[in-house]
Copies of this chain bind each other. A is one copy, B any other.
Amino acid sequence: MEFVAKGLQGYFRIMLININGVITGKEDAKVSVFDRGFLFGDSIYEVTLTYDYVLFKLEEHFDRLWESAESLALHISHSRKELTYEVNKTLKQLNEKRAYVRIIITRGEGMIGLDPNLASKNNVIIICKSLPENPNWWYETGVEMIIANILRNPKESMDPSIKSGNYLNNVLAYAEAKKQGAFDAIMLNRDGFITEGTTNNIWMIKNKEIITPPLGAGLLPGITRQTLIELAKLKNLPVSEKNFTRDELYSADESFLTSSTKELVPIVKINGKSIGSAVPGPLTRKLHQIYKDHVQECVKQGKNKLFFTIFPSDSD
């Protein structure tokens, strides 16, 4: 398929889409209306990024992709090696230092019907695009969140630990936030506990204790969330997974959110209420620095590990 990729230069460079191995531009990136991802949201996905051409934590994202697949009994016909090859092929062509990478796997196409057996062959879509640096003000000023009225999907119905194409629950929560001019929405479960943001995990700091809701609250096991738990433990910082309510969050000393592409973003207001002194807190800044150091370490290691590395000069 390399000849297909070679044909695309210039115009498409800022965004490339790999559809079942064929690299294309935005205009030609299409799937069948009979794809179950389109009909039912019957798909799974992951989003990661590259730092200085190095794919970040691809193994961890693959782990979660395969867990989502297992929860939905969605057979992934590709091996990790094959998927890695396709991601790398696309990124090489894109040739951007900092790139957004979305890997979507659908159950495939077939006659219309809920029966998963109607589809037999995945569609694999890899979207790679240039990823601008995040705005400085997120980190310098911090962001304002709301608590959404809509509750997070419960585990018994649509388990939030599955990263699937069913994202309306989150879309509706996000729309509430936008309507109020907020950065994003924090979602509660039916028991009144904080679960997560619409595409990120939520943290609070109280009396120097770093707390994030446990997976049992019904949330996505964030890669950045898990990384930060491990990094904090390594640094002997008190970190725990514990349920907390909206009121406990309001009275926190600091709060922040985590996501792969956003890293750590300080939360300074929630529903109009100031968190701590309404500026990014010292422990949040410290944790972000620890995280950034970890990223640099991963990038350094990645540079020596060809399998996960795309050098712009690495021609085939």
Contacts and interface: CB of A to CB of B under 8 A. Distances in A.
Interface of A: 17, 19, 26, 29-43, 72-73, 100, 102, 104, 112, 114-117, 125, 127, 150-154, 156-158, 162, 164-172, 174-175, 178, 190, 198-199
Given A114-B174, A153-B157, A40 B38 contact: no
9 contacts: A19-B33, A38-B165, A39-B104, A41-B41, A72-B168, A102-B112, A114-B175, A117-B178, A166-B166
A172 to B, nearest CB: 7
A110 B262 CA distance: 20
A17 B33 contact: yes
A166 B167 CA distance: 7
Question: Which among A112, A114, A117, A175 has the greatest number of chain B C-beta atoms within 10 A?
Answer: A114
Contacts of A156: 150-151, 190
A40 B127 contact: no
Contacts of A154: 151, 154, 157, 190
Given A40-B41, A41-B166, A165-B40, A171 B34 contact: no
Contacts of A29: 32-34
